[in-house]
Each structure stands twice: as structure tokens, then as C-alpha cells.
Amino acid sequence: MLWREEEKANLGVGISRTIDPNADLYEIRVEFCGMMPMREWLRATSRKEATKFAANRYPAATKITIVSKNHANQPSRKRVSHNQPTDQG
């Protein structure tokens, strides 16, 4: 039987995350083959570094896209609790 081995994530400071206190928060979209895309927020000092961190965290990803920077400044991207009623939908 043949199957594809899952690739291990490369984790660590400077590889998949930063400790820089002045880093910005980037929203990324990670796509995998045969799965729904995933959204995550990463702290990084630049878009290039955020892309590198995401690629190291998710080596099996087929596409990584930077959606936005500093999502908290965008009112339309507010996080909503699943337990509370909302005015959406």
C-alpha cells in the first residue's frame, strides 16, 4: 500500500514565529490539496517573514496567501463567539 507521509512542521523562534515585540499581526490563508482553506493570524515583522513562517508551519500547504495586516483595525473581520447570538446570518 502506498501513501504520502505527512511532512513535519519546522518550529522555533525565527523559523515559525518571532519574539520581536514590535511585530505586526498578519492574517494568512493556507490551502491544502483536497481540503477547505484555513485562516490563521501570525506575528511577523514583514509580509515576507509571515509567508516564511506559514510555509515552515505548514509544509504540506499548496498555497499560502497574506490576506491582511493588523486584522483588529478592520471592523468587518471582528471575531465572534459561537455561543452568542449575532446580527449576521
**Nearest of 30, 36, 88, 24 to residue 62 by alpha carbon:** 30
The one-character DSSP state at 27 is: E
- Per residue in 6-65, pLDDT (tens digit) is 678 888 898 999 999 999 999 999 999 888 999 999 999 999 999 999 999 999 899 999
51: which 3 cell numbers?
509567508
- Per residue in 8-19, pLDDT (tens digit) is 888 889 899 999
Sign of CA dihedral 32, 58, 17, 14: negative
Instruction: Flag whether the pTM goes above 0.75.
Output: no
Largest CA distance in the chain: 50
